[in-house]
Amino acid sequence: MITIAFFDAKPYEKLYFDRINETYGFAIRYLDVRLNEETAQLAKGAAAVCAFVNDRIDAGAAAELEKCGIRLIALRCAGYNNVDLRAVWGKIHVVRVPAYSPHAIAEHAVALLFCLTRSLHKAYNRVREGNFLLHGLAGRDLYGKTAGIVGTGKIGKITAEILRGVGMRILVNDTFPDTAWASPLGAEYTSLDELCTRADVISLHAPLGPETFHLINEKTLDLMKPGAVIVNTGRGALIDTRALVRALKHQRIGGACLDVYEEEENYFFEDWSGTAMQDDTLARLLTFPNVIITGHQAFLTDEALSAIAQTTLENVSRFFDTGDAPNEICYRCANLDTEKCRRTRGKGCF
């Protein structure tokens, strides 16, 4: 029987994996700890590890996993910026869940935006305390304003379509424009600088990589309108958070809705409510009335969790049954050098 060492397991995930595993019959060893160089040895005896966004698979962890005889890293997420693909190349195959519910993420991005622009976070607390004053709750219509979507992949496109539905003008930016999709929507591809200059709302949906690291920085923040709202459900390091804090402090932008945070691996997915926060940047962000933070929960819908469990276990099953790895990612295919990858012939990358 194939054993999967399942790192950083949370109760809400176990429910879905256990249910779907009734069909597959893997031995799933749930581990509370995150995967990194120090914890990788806990995978001993397993053939595969299952990892999530804040598990860190760097060269050290990869070497330890190889020593344990791990043949497959099954990411139960879409992003793979936490894996050193070059370090694992030729040793351990890496598969992911390229899409589970792009609607879940897009809808969360829009929910955060509506919440901020209509001060729902303040109104909720006020009414719970019996305070029905409206003072300070005035919002802004989104109708007629301009949304800038960075990254028009699966999630960015749905976000653009939802925001078009409320009557926003849509600007988009992508390294690979999809004009066949954009034209009927009336979406206009433009440079990142122009998007930042013209948009009232900027929503980030590009993957994190060397080219997109700190895409939103001092320079791009300076281009933005004073009332611009930034929404980030992509990855934390798409934004230079210290520059964002400065822009918020000096009221150079209108607000921020964040589901992800640059240093989130130290805090997210755990309860720190009884301790003093050590991360001064996160603590400062939480002081702004025009900042809403959720703890990387955009994916957390029934549909998305089912799809994640289904695709992850199917990835593992196909790899061990047939050597097939359709959702494999390696540093070559990540850099679009797919010709060198055997994946294009329907088998694993190496």
Contact between 180 and ligand NAI by CB under 6 A: the answer reads: no
Q: Of the candidates 52, 75, 76, which has an alpha carbon nearest to the alpha carbon of residue 306?
A: 76
Closer residue to ligand NAI in complex, CB, 205/225: 205
Which one of 76, 93, 205, 235 is the catalytic residue? Answer: 235
Please provide the DSSP assignment of 276-330 as one string.
----HHHHHHTT-TTEEE--S-TT-SHHHHHHHHHHHHHHHHHHHHHS--TTB--
Phi, psi of 92 (to 5 degrees): -135, 130
**Interface residue with ligand NAI, options 173, 220, 290, 310 (CB under 6 A):** 173
Closer residue to ligand NAI in complex, CB, 64/264: 264
Give the containing element (helix H, strand E) for 53: none
Give the number of residues written for the chain: 350
Residue 235 among the catalytic residues: yes
**Interface residue with ligand NAI, options 155, 257, 334, 341 (CB under 6 A):** 155
Stretch that binds ligand NAI, among 135-143, 169-177, 220-228, 339-347 (CB under 6 A): 169-177
Contact between 205 and ligand NAI by CB under 6 A: the answer reads: yes
Which positions from 58 through 117 interact with ligand NAI, judged by CB under 6 A? Answer: 78-79, 99, 102, 105
Scanning the chain, the segments in alpha helix (DSSP H) are 11-24, 59-67, 85-88, 102-117, 120-128, 154-165, 179-185, 192-198, 218-223, 241-249, 280-285, 302-322, 331-334
Shortest reach from residue 212's CB to ligand NAI, in Å? 5
Shortest reach from residue 202's CB to ligand NAI, in Å? 12
Residue 148 DSSP one-character state: E
Residues touching ligand NAI, count (CB under 6 A): 30
**Distance in angstroms (rounded) separating the CA atoms of residues 234 and 212:** 11
Which one of 264, 314, 328, 343 is the catalytic residue? Answer: 264
Contact between 152 and ligand NAI by CB under 6 A: the answer reads: yes
Phi, psi of 91 (to 5 degrees): -115, -55
Closer residue to ligand NAI in complex, CB, 119/154: 154
Q: Are 49 and 93 in contact (CB under 8 A)?
A: no
**Interface residue with ligand NAI, options 151, 236, 255, 348 (CB under 6 A):** 151
Closer residue to ligand NAI in complex, CB, 93/96: 96
Which positions from 247 through 306 interact with ligand NAI, judged by CB under 6 A? Answer: 259-260, 296, 298-299
Helices vs strands, H then E, count in the chain: 13, 12
What's the one-letter identity of residue 284? Answer: R
Closer residue to ligand NAI in complex, CB, 65/75: 75
Closer residue to ligand NAI in complex, CB, 3/197: 197
Contact between 159 and ligand NAI by CB under 6 A: the answer reads: no
Contact between 312 and ligand NAI by CB under 6 A: the answer reads: no
**Distance in angstroms (rounded) separating the CA atoms of residues 91 and 109:** 37
Residue 264 among the catalytic residues: yes
* Strand 255-258, strand 229-232: pairing: parallel
Shortest reach from residue 100's CB to ligand NAI, in Å? 8
Task: Catalog residues that contact ligand NAI under the rule CB under 6 A.
Answer: 78-79, 99, 102, 105, 150-156, 173-176, 205-208, 211-212, 233-235, 259-260, 296, 298-299
Provide the annotated active-site residues: 235, 264, 296
